[in-house]
Amino acid sequence: MKIFTGEQIYEANKFTIKKQQITSNELMERVALQIFNWLHLRLKGAQPKIHLFCGIGNNGGNGLAVARHLQEHGYNIEVYIVDYNEKRTDDFLINLKRLKDRKIWPNFLSEDSEMPQITKEDIVIDAIFGIGLNRTPVYWVTQLMGHINSSGAFILSVDVPSGLFLDRLVKSSNAIIQANHILTFQSPKLAFFLPETGIYCNHWEIIDIGIDSEYLTATETEFDLISKNEVLQWYLPREKFTHKGTYGHSLIVGGSYGKIGAAILAAKGALHSGSGLVSAYIPKCGYVPMQTALPEIMVQTTTSEQIMDDFDFSVNSTVIGVGPGLGTDKKTREAFEKFLSKNTQSLVIDADALNILAKNKELLKLLPVDTVLTPHPKELECLIGSWKNDFDKLEKAKEFSNKFNCVLVIKGAHTITLYKGKGFINTSGNPGMATAGSGDVLTGLVTGLIAQGYSPVIAAIFGVYLHGSAGDIAVENLGYQSLTASSIANTIGGAFIELFSRPEAPIQNQQQKQQG
């Protein structure tokens, strides 16, 4: 699913109006009907007090149109115009007149107005600001927002919570509506998926307002939302007359004394992803643990008992996953640098291998094209430098990915894979996956997919989705607190099965699930 910017949404509206030969107000009426139908389906004529707070722009016009439909169906409503300046859009004025024609008299709120009385049994519809907001609201409006937030009422925001910016942070949590639910138009917004802004958008769903399909199909976006529908098209089925050699050979390089478990988890991820052969290259101290934990895996060891002091393996692999448990000993760093200067194989790099790269960024120039890097937030900061906010982080990460021709996986609640200036936002996963070793499993999983013939970028996107899906399946029996990396690895097979066994849940429900 494409994620459109604010500018693209405005263009989509204009394109739809022209192509379908409708007025902007008719498009607004579509929005209002969808919101009314959502409410009516749930309320079924019940009579809580519904407070509609409407700005003086087009989102306020949406709110006024919703108020008209609610009144016509007998609901108990109170309409407020948040009168923060003298400008009004034409569609707002049209819907204001329609309200007055039906003897519905809004309350105009200004700086001197008393705060409306709202109880926790009421419903608030927030249509104060939309996606066009470009500055922090004036003080009295933020006071009104705080009053709404503290009311305890159920708050439904139209398109976005009022006060949310699409491309930068909210300066104060008091300057944004804390919505219980958001009905967003046609597609979700990037801000819904970033940690610093997503906290205001825990529960949302998409309403289809009939934007012309030609625009939706033809318009390229910087970010796509990845769910089951998107990854299914990439799945490579197993053919009957094949053998283990058909599905590639994954090599996991890592481990050190006390950290052999990381290499084991990565190898397990590669094995369960479907790699035909899996080998591990580890220090001698890890030989028995690896062979005991995973008898299906072939093992070679370094000359050292405790550290990776060389990369002199003789495995003829398809792809190499390097980093889990590697350590950053001086001899390890030197061996890794020597390896990079000679290597021509596809790479997946994680953990301590990323830390070594961060300390000597000249090594980044030695990476093969389309190397996959999978940093957690601290590792990412060491690679690209600090950032001002999540939007700045994405820009710096995209620049890094472009500069070094790599696939950059930014791990988080919504892991984002960046490649050639485009971002792919994952929808699977849950908070229980914030556990030791989870990233090592992902490294192996992506490595195993590349071994089977998936391109590095598809392997990264698909691997992230399968990793999250495995976590979602495992957490059903274990709960968030008891979810482990091993249980995620052991459930990768279930994630493959799930691709074909159940219809996809609506994306909004997946979002709610992630928030616990």
pLDDT of residue 174: 86
Are 360 and 338 in contact by the 8 Å Cβ rule? The answer is no
Three-state secondary structure call for residue 430: coil
Q: What distances in angstroms separate CA 312 from CA 258, 283, 285, 309, 495, one per listed residue?
A: 22, 12, 17, 9, 35
**Taking the CB of residue 19, how many other CB atoms lie within 10 A of it?**
13
Give dist(CA 256, CA 259) in Å, integer.
Answer: 5
Three-state secondary structure call for residue 440: helix
Distance linking the first and last C-alpha atoms of the chain:
23
pLDDT of residue 173: 85
Tell me the pLDDT of the chain (516 aa) as tens digits: 999 999 999 999 999 999 999 999 999 999 999 999 999 999 999 999 999 999 999 999 999 999 999 999 999 999 999 999 888 999 999 999 999 999 999 999 999 999 999 999 999 999 999 998 988 999 999 999 999 999 999 999 999 999 999 999 998 888 999 999 999 999 999 999 999 999 999 899 999 999 999 999 999 999 999 999 999 999 999 999 999 999 999 999 999 999 999 999 999 999 999 999 999 999 999 999 999 999 999 999 999 999 999 999 999 999 999 999 999 999 999 999 999 999 999 999 999 999 999 999 999 999 999 999 999 999 999 999 999 999 999 999 999 999 999 999 999 999 999 999 999 999 999 999 999 999 999 999 999 999 999 999 999 999 999 999 999 999 999 999 999 999 999 999 999 999 998 666 666 544 444 433
Q: What distances in angstroms separate CA 223 from CA 110, 182, 201, 261, 421, one per listed residue?
A: 39, 20, 18, 35, 9
- In 411-501, DSSP assigns E strands to 416-419, 422-426
pLDDT of residue 507: 62
Q: Is 47 exposed, middle or buried (0-12, 13-18, 19+ CB in 10 A)?
A: exposed
Q: How is 41-56 classified by DSSP, letter by letter?
A: HHHTT----EEEEE-S
Provide the Cα torsion 381, 386, 389, 391; round to 10°: -70
b/e per residue 480-513 (b: at least 16 CB within 10 A)? eeebbbbbbbebbebbbebbeeeeeeebbebbbb
Residue whose token pair is 């509506």: 177
pLDDT of residue 511: 46
pLDDT of residue 506: 60
- In 48-196, DSSP assigns E strands to 50-54, 77-82, 107-109, 123-127, 154-158, 181-185
Angle among Cα 214, 219, 225 to the nearest 5 degrees reads 110
Q: Is 282 exposed, middle or buried (0-12, 13-18, 19+ CB in 10 A)?
A: buried
b/e per residue 169-187 (b: at least 16 CB within 10 A)? bbeeeebbbbbebbbbbbb
Give the bridge partners for 419, in sequence order: 422
Query: 416-419 and 407-410: which strand pairing?
Result: antiparallel
Give dist(CA 217, CA 187) in Å, integer.
Answer: 13
86 secondary structure, DSSP code: S
Three-state secondary structure call for residue 304: coil
Residue whose token pair is 């394109």: 15
User: Mutual orientation of helices 438-451 and 260-273 as an angle, nearest 10°?
Assistant: 40
Query: 319-322 and 249-253: which strand pairing?
Result: parallel
**Taking the CB of residue 193, how many other CB atoms lie within 10 A of it?**
25
Three-state secondary structure call for residue 332: helix
Q: How is 94-115 classified by DSSP, letter by letter?
A: HHHHHHHHTT--PEEE-TTPPP
Give dist(CA 306, CA 355) in Å, integer.
Answer: 19
Q: Is 425 exposed, middle or buried (0-12, 13-18, 19+ CB in 10 A)?
A: buried
Listed residue (151, 168, 169, 187) closest to 9, CA to CA: 187
